[in-house]
Amino acid sequence: NRVSELNTLIQKYNSDKEFLSDGNIKTAIGSAEYDIIYDADKILSGVISGDSVHIGKILNDKRLGTTSFNFDVVYNTISTQAIPSAKALGKIHHIAYNGYNYNNISIDAQSYPTGMKGMVDIDDENLKSCANITYIDAPHKDIQLDLSLNKIHFNNINLVKTDKEEELSLKAIAQLRGKDFKHLYGNIEFNDINLQTKENNYSLKDIIINAQKQENETSLYTINSEILTASIEGQASLADIVANFTNQLSHHLPILVKKQNIPATDFTYEITVKDAPVLHSLTDTKFALKKPVRMFGNLSSDNEQMSLNIDAPSVSYNEKDYDDIALVCNTTPDNMNVHAIASTY
């Protein structure tokens, strides 16, 4: 990407140890302007802006497109710490990602030798959100994340692939804290969940997820909603739970499921699912959960064992009723045993 035009000026500012520089650069992948001062304390500060910069080509990422931005920046060039002292305050006017152009993203970020903190506010017509994060690296690692999601239309910003006549939207609030991003504890609350299809409008009031670190160093995750309640307890992060289930299945279904390199876990779980109209929007199959369905069991990665139990007292499928459905599945590295019973009338 050849430079087509470069204009720059460097001159002394106040003393022999201070310099001022401003200029602009134009290339085939966008243009940028800067106005920067380098002072006697070796602090670099000023304004940097870009117009139609194709960051996808710069980073070799096809999901990214062009962006335009304007930032006030400060950077301590003599910092010897792992985290340098710096500030960035400004706005990303637009940035293209995954086929959608996000607009009006404000950023206020600061780093210092013992950590960093920042705020990101998005005021797009299809995504309105604000996140505040604080990361402390020393003397003890600590992460605090507060997020408010006031509006999101998944279909319009290409986050989900559904029929063009379907639209999924929701709101959310999250308050999380932990020592690393895989082990954050607190609450996430989803509100005003709406799925608009060609035939119907489905809605859920709330989904509340709570994560707690217990005194015995185990984690307890709970989910409460109209259609699902769940409790998961043990040595596991939410990010690793599903992956450990698939790892257990990889022993017996290696063609379908590939084993992943993830931390070992040991946990128990119990999930109850109730019938609701939104469940029927996920499939064309005619079914009904006449009574709640309960799933429970445990998983131990160290012993490479897993158990899954399903109790479905009353279910209808394709207009036929089934009662007292029970399924028991136990796995070891060498065996997978599955037993199922049901009665019909």
DSSP line for 30-51: EEEEEEEEE-TT-EEEEEEEEE
DSSP 160: S
- Residue with the larger pLDDT of the pair 104 and 9: 104
d(CA 322, CA 307): 23
Average pLDDT over residues 21-39: 86
Average pLDDT, the chain: 86
Query: What average pLDDT does range 21-45 have in this prediction?
Result: 86
pLDDT score at 224? 95
What lies within 8 Å, CB to CB, of 338 at 6+ separation is: 327, 328, 329
pTM given for the model: 0.81
Q: What is the rounded CA–CA span in Å between residue 211 and residue 220?
A: 6
Asked if the model's pLDDT at residue 273 lies above 90, the reply is yes
Instruction: Categorize the per-residue pLDDT at 240 as very low, low, confident or very high, splitting at 50, 70 and 90.
Output: confident
H/E stretch holding 270 reads strand 266-273
In angstroms, rounded to a whole number, what is the distance separating the alpha carbons of residues 147 and 121?
Answer: 10
d(CA 290, CA 278): 15
Tell me how far apart the alpha carbons of residues 228 and 209 are, in angstroms, rounded to a whole number.
Answer: 11
pLDDT on residue 22: 83
Task: Judge if the upstream peptide bond of residue 139 is cis by omega within 30 degrees of 0.
Answer: yes
Query: 134 - beta bridge partners?
Result: 117, 144
Taking the CA atoms of 100, 101, 107 and 111 in sequence, report the sign of the dihedral they define.
Answer: positive
Q: Retrieve residue 191's tokens.
A: 């509100």
Residue with the two structure tokens 């308050």: 175
Q: Is the pLDDT of residue 73 over 90?
A: yes
| Eight-class DSSP state of 280 | H
Cα-Cα-Cα-Cα torsion 96, 172, 91, 157, nearest 10 degrees, comes to: 10
Residue 309 token pair: 């139990």
The residue-averaged pLDDT of 91-106 equals: 95
pLDDT at 230: 95
Give residue for tokens 């096809």.
62
Per-residue model confidence (pLDDT) at position 279: 81
Which residues does 254 contact at the CB level (< 8 Å), separation at least 6? none
The H or E element spanning position 286 is none
Please give the pLDDT value at position 13.
59
Distance (Å, rounded) from C-alpha 182 to C-alpha 172?
20
Question: Residue 42 pLDDT more than 60?
Answer: yes
**The predicted structure's pLDDT at residue 235:** 83
6-20, 211-225, 303-317: the lowest-pLDDT one:
6-20
pLDDT of residue 39: 84
CA–CA gap between residue 192 and residue 207 (Å, rounded): 9
pLDDT bracket for residue 6 (50, 70, 90): low
- What pLDDT, on a 0 to 100 scale, did the predictor assign at position 142? 92
Instruction: Give the whole-angstrom CA distance, residue 130 versus residue 122.
Output: 6
Q: How far apart are CA 28 and CA 19, in angstroms?
A: 29
Beta bridge partners of 315: 289, 322
At residue 79 the predicted structure's pLDDT band, cuts being 50, 70 and 90, is confident
Residue 2 has pLDDT above 70, yes or no: no
Flag whether pLDDT at 302 surpasses 80: no
